[in-house]
C-alpha cells in the first residue's frame, strides 16, 4: 500500500480552492454547484480544479471530481494524493450530505491508492478505502 508523504496540502486551502471553482459549475438541473480540487504526488504544490458540468442527458454529466482529476492528468500527472469536494445549493448554502459517486470513486482509484485522501467540506476527512474498499483493478 502506498503512503502519502509530505509535503501535505493544507486541507483548508484545498477546500477553499474547491469552493471557489464550485461557482463555475453548470448545474441548471440539480442546481447543486459542486467543486473539487486535486493534488497529485508529482506536483504537490499544484492544485487542479474542476466543477460539475450537467447535461440534459444526465448520463453525460461530468462530475467535479472527474473534471479535477482529468485536469491533473492533462497536465501530465498520474498519482493522485488528495482531493477536496464541496457542494453548494443554488442559494450558495452548503450541502452537507455529499460523497463521490461510484464512477468518481473508481476514477479516484485509477489514479490514486487506498490511502488517497478525500476531504469533504463539512463532512470530514476520509481515505478512498473508506468508500471503495474493493475497487475494480485491471
- Output the pLDDT for position 137: 81
3 occurs within a structural domain: no
In the sheet where 33-40 sits, what is the strand order?
48-51, 33-40, 80-88, 117-120, 124-127
CA 90 to chain centre: 20
72 occurs within a structural domain: yes
Grid coordinates of 123: 463532512
User: What CATH number has the domain bearing residue 90?
Assistant: 3.40.140.10
Q: Which residue has the higher pLDDT, 48 or 96?
A: 48
* Residues paired with residue 108 on neighbouring β-strands, in sequence order: none
138 occurs within a structural domain: no
What percentage of the chain has pLDDT greater than the value 70?
Answer: 95
SS3 of 33-96 = EEEEEEEECCCCCCCEEEECECCCCHHHCECHHHHHHHHHHHCCCCCEEEEEEEEECCCCCECC
Catalogue the active-site residues: 65
86 occurs within a structural domain: yes
Q: Name which of 94, 96, 39, 44 is nearest 69 in CA terms.
A: 39
- Output the pLDDT for position 89: 95
Q: What gap in Å lies between CA 25 and CA 12, rounded to an integer?
A: 21
Strand 80-88 with 117-120, pairing: parallel
How many residues belong to the chain?
A: 138
Distance (Å) of CA 82 to CA 6, 72, 85: 12, 12, 10
Residue 1 pLDDT more than 70? no
Instruction: Write out pLDDT tens, residues 59-109.
Output: 999 999 999 999 999 999 999 999 999 999 999 999 987 999 999 999 999
When divided into structural domains, the chain yields a total of 1
Q: Residue 21: which H helix or E strand, with range?
A: helix 11-22
Instruction: Write out pLDDT tens, residues 19-41.
Output: 999 999 999 999 999 999 999 99
6 occurs within a structural domain: no
5 occurs within a structural domain: no
Instruction: Please give the residue range of the domain that contains residue 90.
Output: 11-131
136 occurs within a structural domain: no
Amino acid at each position: 500500500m502506498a503512503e502519502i508523504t509530505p509535503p501535505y496540502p493544507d486541507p483548508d486551502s484545498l477546500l477553499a480552492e474547491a469552493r471557489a471553482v464550485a461557482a463555475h459549475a453548470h448545474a441548471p438541473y440539480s442546481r447543486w454547484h459542486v467543486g473539487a480540487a486535486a493534488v497529485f504526488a508529482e506536483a504537490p504544490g499544484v492544485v487542479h480544479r474542476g466543477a460539475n458540468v450537467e447535461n440534459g442527458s444526465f448520463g453525460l454529466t461530468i462530475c467535479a471530481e472527474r473534471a479535477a482529476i482529468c485536469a491533473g492528468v492533462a497536465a501530465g500527472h498520474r498519482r493522485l494524493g488528495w482531493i477536496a469536494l464541496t457542494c453548494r445549493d443554488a442559494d450558495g448554502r452548503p450541502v452537507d450530505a455529499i460523497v463521490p459517486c461510484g464512477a468518481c470513486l473508481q476514477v479516484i482509484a485509477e489514479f490514486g491508492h487506498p490511502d488517497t485522501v478525500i476531504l469533504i467540506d463539512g463532512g470530514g476527512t476520509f481515505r478512498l478505502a473508506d468508500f471503495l474498499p474493493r475497487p475494480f483493478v485491471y
